[in-house]
Structure 1
Amino acid sequence: MLAQDLPFEIIVTIVKFLFYKDKINCIDAFSSWKTVLEESLWNNINISCQNSLDGICNIASAKHSVYKRNGRHVRTLTLNGNICIADDQLLLIQQLLPNLDRLYCSNSSISEDGFGTQADWRLWESLTQLHVDLSDWEDIDPIREFMRVFPFLPNLKILSLDQDCVVISPSITLEDIDKIHDYMPHLESIRLDVQPPVLTADDLVRITDVTPAPSVRSIHFNVRNSTYGWLYYFAFKYPNLQVLEELTFEHNDTSDELASQSKLMLRMDSAVLKRLSTVKINVEENSRQLEPIIWKLFRFFDIPVRYIDYFAYSYINTAVTIRDVIKESFNSYSKTLETLYIKECTSYSRNWIITESMDYYPCLVDIYIDVHRSSVALDVLLDHCVSLKRLKVDSGLLSVGPDSFAFASAPTSTSTSTSTLTASNIHSLRMLIIGKLSISASILEYISFRCRRLKHMCLSKSTVSGDISENTGSLVIDMSYTHLQTLQLHQVLFTTSLNANIDSQTINLICIPENLFEKSPYCDRQIDNESAQNGFLEIYKKTSWFYTVYNKFCRDEWSSEVWNLARNESEMAIKYFSSFKSSRISSKNMTVPYTDVGYFTKKNWSDSLPDGYVMLKCGSLERHTITGKWFNDWASHEYFYWFINYEAKTLQTWFVLFYFILVVHHYFALSKDRSNFGKLAFQLRFS
């Protein structure tokens, strides 16, 4: 059976898994797919340019005619970039795209001027998702304006009104929440950047009579007052709640008020909040004494929490510490917890090892730790979290105990020792993200030894230190046990000391071998810096060399620039270090070559040769990126996650397509009745 002979229902299903570029190629390859593919190209529309928006809304333009002819196929519309859509333009878009299912408006692309005066939201009653960024709305309350729109969106399932920078603090009442659910009875997820009011005693009494919204699974409100009172309300209003975000404890609430509100919760049926699995909690300074009650309530109702996102502000030295929270609260969910995000902003030094308080977490697969001036014992963390797949650590220090280092350094060449090592010590960590940390090269080698299934590693704004061999001029970071798919280094400082002075201790040359030893991930490793003297570099037929310069602003802040050396420059470096003499190591590095703050140059790169180089050696490496730019704390890691997920999705797309064709071919060979193809397509669609 040929691909062009597939029935229409099967083609529709397959097309949903193809990328835009693949659809274009298939149009040229299979004429019978043309209609389905051309219609699918209109599924998702992204408008990110004001000129493009104006052209679509100009009824005399050719672009308007094209949208008028094909707009009925559009299911998802995204408005982003530097655009601002007025209400009369929004009306034209509504008329052109009558079957819209999802609307995404970022960067305040919907203007607040005249909002709701001309647009007819009844034309979009088919909407199931509405995501709007209202950060730039300054003069009107967005909740009040959208309350006039909600009655025309009866099929909405996901509602998100975001405000990253709140200028006007939107208000919402219990009556508003009831109206929202009356207008949109199918809502499953609500995200409103609003500040609910303080609940009075009368409000608390009436909560037991609220009309439940059983379809809601996830809510996000900026609850900052009457925290336990609102939790009491959510328990009755949303009996099937699974995700609860943005509960904030601050000093506006008194201990007496919260205590009286929590007593109300103790009177509730034990079945409430049984589906709750994800909580996001913020703790303002001076409020930590108010927080523990919520964890006691969760334990009282035996709520199986699987996801905790915890953010605390501690700008004064308080009696309750993050270590206490882990020990007294988080450890209660050690048997069920799968994801744990911990972030604390502090302005004082405690210098503790945060992992000392952690129990055994057998189900934990994702951890993010960002606690200022703390230390994470990596070996302890890996021992206590045996199922961990993703680890992100920001700030502080990453350490490994001496016993673990000794074990990692022991020979493992015999089959017996390798078997014992694999069974008891090899960890299944897949992704490691390190940011704003100081680590030694030996820790990276320990990670390679211990985490042999590691596939993705990212270092951002971090310092890596180690010893340079006097005989070879190299600082070899031997990660031979690791077979990476992705390696990213963003503004990483390589130095000979953790407390290095940038002008005297930095290493400016980095070497990444690309033609690597083909070794078993469990084989013995007996290669050291000295072996480079005997033609070690000659083994690598191809290497990538990078030159990095730094500009220091203060003790822990620097900027950098990275250049990839040309082929002749790389050959010059290899030739230089193949006959390296220890006497050539300079006692003091050169002055960083720049003519003005923030300006760097590559022309003097060869002056750094006497100072040695860093070689990062992996068992195998598919892709690597080295830059002098440091993305902000979240953006760099979001990009890293996106990059990996994009690669995985590409592979999944082709796998699913191949699977569909095999199944259809098999079914066609066994069936003599083509009418059964409709039934098969339906089964594949919902399988």
Structure 2
Amino acid sequence: MNVTKIIPTEILLHIVSHLTPHDTRIGLTICQDWFEVFRHALYYKITLKSLYQFHCLCESLRLSQQKLPNGHLVKHLVVRKAKPFSCLQKRQLESIIPRLCFESLVALCPYLESLEIDPDSWKSITGHNDIARWKYMHKIPTLASLDQALLSLQCLGKGLTSVSIQGNIIVDMSTQNRLLSIFSLTPYLEELAINDSDMDPALSLTLQDIETIHSLLPKLRRFHIIGNNIQMPIDSNEAILSQIAAYPIVANLEYLHWETRHTPAFWLFYIAHKYPNLLTLELDVHYTNSTDNFQLEKSFFLNLVQKCRYIEQLSLSCPILDHWLNESFLNIAKNNRCIRQITPLLRKGNRIKSETELEFIAHHTGHLMTSLEIEQWRFNVKLPYTLHLLKRFACLSSLDIKCDSYHNEYDLQYLLDNCPTLETLILEWGMLYVPIVFSKKRYRLKVLQMTFMAFVPHFFDFLSLTCPSLKTFSLTRCKQLCEMNDMVSQTTVILNMPHHKFESLVLDGIRLDYSSASMFYHGLSSYIRIAYIEQAESKSWHQHVGYQNNNRDLPLMQELSTKEAFVTQKYFAQRKQGSFVDSSKLFLRNLSEQKVSDVLRTNLMFGYLKIQCKQLNHFVLDGNVNCPHLQ
């Protein structure tokens, strides 16, 4: 007798939580017993990336409303404005979700618990009475104006546990004394985020402002203050310390993230006193430039790790690295059994500038460090020694190495073998090699950014096979090392990654190493400006044609017409065979015979990019056009 083994529902739910939406959708058809499990998993959280997808979702939920109301299963909905495929499409894609769609969403998804959309779309519907029917709503989109905040919180405030507001509301509330009226509508709030936008006026949050927020929100567990337009002034004298010591503590706050334009080191003393049970801290610290407070500010970091004894994740930055990354601090951290991660905040003055600093950190807390920024060009040791030292950093997830010339040679496979948990890799200046026979390992790399790097032609084959999770890929001012007598490598850069789904691919100034454009046109860069993109469902030719503004930071890309694409494809096919590249005279004569526009004819000179991938959401091609007749 055959015995059918049934997977317990608890285990099946755990398995389904790790599947992609596509795989979950396939699971609906496996068997009747699994249908409900996969159905709940598919609709529990939905992330949309375009207005079109939002319309499709509403239509699908409307069709299922009578027989099987799938909308009742939706608990979390995220609608993000998709990045444009190219900057040329930017204005077309930035649209607000229509109010009528949201009015139907309230009826279709009555059990929604969290909603993330852009503030403008949310603002358009906050006055609608139907949103009060979302009785289970815990988290709403960012509030961008005072009137909007009042309307939203009057309807939903009592059920909310998480609120995000833009800084200009705080300015309004401080001038109109409305802080109490706003937060009195959210008595059960556990998470507060104060952010700024590019258009917000400068916001100053004082010690008294923070105390007021805590008095109004006694259940607060997570507190974010993030923005370049926000500053947190505090008196930088010892008299303020006794005042801080008299403040009541907040025992239930577990997560604190303050990253502003100005957060003086004296806030460290406040944090150590106010939040003794803190589990996660992310803080961008600024010092006063006063030698009088140097040792005092340094002692604040020691006081922090001594008082916050339960801290698990610590992310800090300071203009002087030795303020906190010193022997006393690291010894306390090493002996604290709760600390699991120490993460220097990226691009915040935490760059390691000598091999002795790196050796020191590796010896004391290498097993805790999750990010490193290394200025290799300052070291007195060669790059291979640095890469070997990285073995001591067992939890490293982000690595940034800056050299100063192409003479620094990287073996990418060796680097990834030494850093098996690496997810973000940023390299500046160097020569990148990969072995002929690739490793069978699969690495976790998700983000790769390269600037002023040279690479071999089969570099992308290595990434395709060994880095299946790569989603964000950026190459700036990079060059491909062409092989002698190989016209393919002297004509095209092939990104052969057919199974990858890229969120973002930025190719800003890629060239073939042999190219010498100045021989043909004075002042014209030799960067590739033509790309052939082959996705799972489409194929197209594109060229870089200029910029949207005088700052040259918004490159424009144009799709070639059918005729231009045919001529371009034929030209490069002949060029790969080497039929007209024996001399510069023959090369230029063949170019002049191509019956295309002057811009395209010039762009043909420098080769092309061949991109093969499964999906490409956001693509930027910048050829650094600096020749007047191409503008």
Question: Under a length normalisation based on structure 1, what TM-score does the superposition of the two structures give?
Answer: 0.61
User: Within the alignment, does 1:80 sit opposite 2:151 as a pair?
Assistant: no
* SS across alignment from 2:341: coil
2:329 to 274, 297, 300: 297
In structure 2, relative to structure 1, the CA distance for the partners of 1:560 and 1:73 (3 Å cut) is closer
Q: Counterpart in 1 of 2:466?
A: 453
TM superposition shift of 1:604: 4.3
Q: Counterpart in 2 of 1:367?
A: 398
1:472 to 483, 487, 506: 487
* SS across alignment from 1:187: coil
Q: Counterpart in 1 of 2:343?
A: 307
Q: Deviations over 1:282-341 (max 9, x none)?
A: 42xxxx276346774243242443433143469xxx9x9477764555774321223x26
TM superposition shift of 1:130: 0.4
Q: Is the 8 A contact 1:585 1:611 kept in 2?
A: no
User: Within the alignment, does 1:580 sit opposite 2:614 as a pair?
Assistant: no
Q: Counterpart in 2 of 1:530?
A: none
* SS across alignment from 1:213: coil
User: Within the alignment, does 1:275 sit opposite 2:311 as a pair?
Assistant: yes
2:295 to 247, 251, 259: 259
Q: Counterpart in 2 of 1:636?
A: none
2:430 to 398, 402, 416: 398
The number of residue pairs the alignment matches comes to 546
TM superposition shift of 1:128: 0.8
Q: Deviations over 1:179-236 (max 9, x none)?
A: 4334333322101355051265344246556544333222123578885543233233
In structure 2, relative to structure 1, the CA distance for the partners of 1:355 and 1:486 (3 Å cut) is farther
User: Within the alignment, does 1:161 sit opposite 2:194 as a pair?
Assistant: yes
Alignment of 1:17-96 (within 5 A): 17=45, 21=56, 24-25=59-60, 28=63, 31-34=66-69, 37=71, 40=74, 73=111, 75-77=113-115, 80=118, 82=120
User: Within the alignment, does 1:434 sit opposite 2:469 as a pair?
Assistant: no
In structure 2, relative to structure 1, the CA distance for the partners of 1:228 and 1:589 (3 Å cut) is farther
* SS across alignment from 2:184: helix
Larger Rg: 1
Distance 2:63 2:179 in 1: 45
* SS across alignment from 1:279: strand
- Where structure 1 has 5 or more consecutive residues not aligned to the other structure, the ranges are 57-62, 413-420, 516-541, 594-600, 632-687
* SS across alignment from 1:246: strand
Q: Counterpart in 2 of 1:533?
A: none
Moved more, 133-142 or 360-369: 133-142
AA aligned to 1:110 is S
In structure 2, relative to structure 1, the CA distance for the partners of 1:242 and 1:588 (3 Å cut) is farther
Q: Is the 8 A contact 1:386 1:427 kept in 2?
A: no
Q: Is the 8 A contact 1:430 1:453 kept in 2?
A: no
AA aligned to 1:154 is P
Q: Is the 8 A contact 1:475 1:615 kept in 2?
A: no
Question: Under a length normalisation based on structure 2, what TM-score does the superposition of the two structures give?
Answer: 0.66
Distance 2:431 2:557 in 1: 28
Q: Counterpart in 2 of 1:16?
A: 44
Q: Deviations over 1:404-430 (max 9, x none)?
A: 67xx35xx5xxxxxxxx748xx67253
Q: Deviations over 1:161-188 (max 9, x none)?
A: 1124563332232x54444334333322
Q: Deviations over 1:635-660 (max 9, x none)?
A: xxxxxxxxxxxxxxxxxxxxxxxxxx
- RMSD of aligned Cα (Å): 5.6
In structure 2, relative to structure 1, the CA distance for the partners of 1:576 and 1:615 (3 Å cut) is same
Distance 1:626 1:99 in 2: 35
Q: Is the 8 A contact 1:282 1:310 kept in 2?
A: no
Q: Is the 8 A contact 1:15 1:23 kept in 2?
A: no
Q: Counterpart in 2 of 1:190?
A: 223
Q: Deviations over 1:467-486 (max 9, x none)?
A: 37657365277879966514
Q: Deviations over 1:465-511 (max 9, x none)?
A: 43376573652778799665146343343233599756264455556
Q: Counterpart in 2 of 1:661?
A: none
User: Within the alignment, does 1:462 sit opposite 2:462 as a pair?
Assistant: no
Distance 2:526 2:305 in 1: 64
TM superposition shift of 1:99: 4.9
- Where structure 2 has 5 or more consecutive residues not aligned to the other structure, the ranges are 1-27, 48-53, 82-93, 624-631
Q: Counterpart in 1 of 2:85?
A: none
Q: Deviations over 1:418-475 (max 9, x none)?
A: xxx748xx6725334225x122242x63564488412336234433243376573652
In structure 2, relative to structure 1, the CA distance for the partners of 1:557 and 1:582 (3 Å cut) is farther
Distance 2:501 2:395 in 1: 23
TM superposition shift of 1:613: 3.3
In structure 2, relative to structure 1, the CA distance for the partners of 1:25 and 1:5 (3 Å cut) is farther
1:170 to 161, 185, 204: 204
In structure 2, relative to structure 1, the CA distance for the partners of 1:120 and 1:548 (3 Å cut) is closer
Q: Counterpart in 2 of 1:379?
A: 411
AA aligned to 1:307 is T
In structure 2, relative to structure 1, the CA distance for the partners of 1:558 and 1:17 (3 Å cut) is closer
